[in-house]
Amino acid sequence: MGIAPAADWEHDLASVLLTEEQIQARVAEMAAELADEYRDKHPLLIGVLKGSIVFLSDLMRRLCFPLEIDLVCCSSYGHSSESSGEVRLRLDLSKELAGRHVLLVEDIVDTGLTLSRLCDLLRERQPASLKVCCLLSKPSRREVDMQPDYVGFEIPDEFVVGYGLDYAERYRWLPHVAVVKPEAYR
Ligand code: 5GP
């Protein structure tokens, strides 16, 4: 019996950055922090499609108090690994924000351009409060002053996939976060 050969897709991945256990433990900690702030506020959690769906669904199942969810979709990187800096709403919210306590749930903050622009757009709708919760942050890549209020993990400047994050729509299903080999996307 030899070692099973790596599947084709595995050749694109360099290493596991965060294991499923690390992610689940941190999500539980973040949920506890969020409960302190939002338990009595009936918050509206807004997931940014598509990357945040796994994080949002794990997070909200650990928040054992009344809340609502909604989803927005911004223009994405498409098949590139670089941000265009241009942010367009491709799917708008179905709920009114005025007077609501809003928590924006994002997979990763890189340059900060997407969230900074999205927060500007949402603030115009006059929520009672607007905060940002992200699973991953790459502080060394920031191009605008965007400091998320809740951060799961600060990570180095590497392109990652898994736990909802994709590269050209692949790898979202991985239960962990992995680093993509640069030669796979260059
Ligand atoms: P920003 O506008 O902060 O530069 O980019 C935010 C968006 O870029 C994220 O929502 C995500 O879609 C994408 N992004 C940034 N870094 C990564 C990464 O390392 N991996 C993946 N899959 N997407 C990323």
Query: In whole angstroms, what is the distance from residue 160 CA to residue 108 CA?
Result: 10
* pLDDT for res 79: 47
Q: Determine the atom of ligand 1 nearest the C-alpha atom of 158.
A: 19
pLDDT at residue 76 in the model: 54
Q: Is 152 exposed, middle or buried (0-12, 13-18, 19+ CB in 10 A)?
A: buried
How many Å lie between the centroid of ligand 1 and the Cα of residue 175? Answer: 18
Beta bridge partners of 109: 137
Name the residue with the closest Cα to ligand 1, atom 5. 110
Structure tokens at 89: 């709403």
DSSP 128-186: SEEEEEEEEE-GGG--S----SEEEEE--S--EEBTTB-BTTBSTT-SSEEEEPHHHH-
110 is a catalytic site residue: yes
Contact 68, 96 (CB under 8 A): no
pLDDT value of residue 25: 98
Strands across the sheet with 68-74, in order? 89-91, 68-74, 44-49, 101-109, 129-137, 150-154
Taking the CA of residue 106 as reference, the ligand 1 atom at the shortest distance is 10
How many angstroms does the Cα of residue 161 sit away from the middle of ligand 1?
10
User: Separation of 37 CA from ligand 1 center, angstroms?
Assistant: 27
Q: What is the pLDDT along the chain (186 residues), one digit of tens a residue?
A: 556 556 666 788 999 999 999 999 999 999 999 999 999 999 999 999 999 999 999 999 999 899 999 999 987 544 455 555 567 788 887 788 999 999 999 999 999 999 999 999 999 999 999 999 999 999 999 999 999 999 999 999 999 999 999 998 999 999 999 999 988 876
- Residues comprising the chain, all counted: 186
pLDDT at 89: 80
- Find the radius of gyration of the CA atoms of the chain: 17
Q: Which residues, judged by CB distance below 6 Å to any ligand atom, belong to the binding site of ligand 1?
A: 51, 76-77, 83, 106-114, 159-161, 165-167
